[in-house]
Amino acid sequence: MTQTSSTSSRPKNAFEFVTVASARARQLLKGCTPKVDGSPKPARRALQEVAQGVVGAIEPPTGR
């Protein structure tokens, strides 16, 4: 659901932003390493990561 590549793009709208941030917060709660310095709270750190463009949505492949 999320990617941690520098080629990621920022979410296109608020719904996508929240969806990506919630998926990243779940990853952080499971023990994934944070990508930015910031809040010790996983949900807030996830929001910071998405806002900075460090993580973003993975687009599903198109075509067959």
Q: Is the pLDDT of residue 51 over 80?
A: yes
**24 Cβ contact list (under 8 Å, min separation 6):** 2, 46, 49, 50, 55
Average pLDDT over residues 3-9: 49
Closest of 19, 46, 20 to residue 32, by C-alpha: 46
Average pLDDT over residues 27-47: 96
Residue spans per domain, the chain? 2-57
Please give the mean pLDDT across all residues of the chain. Answer: 86
Q: Is the pLDDT of residue 6 over 60?
A: no
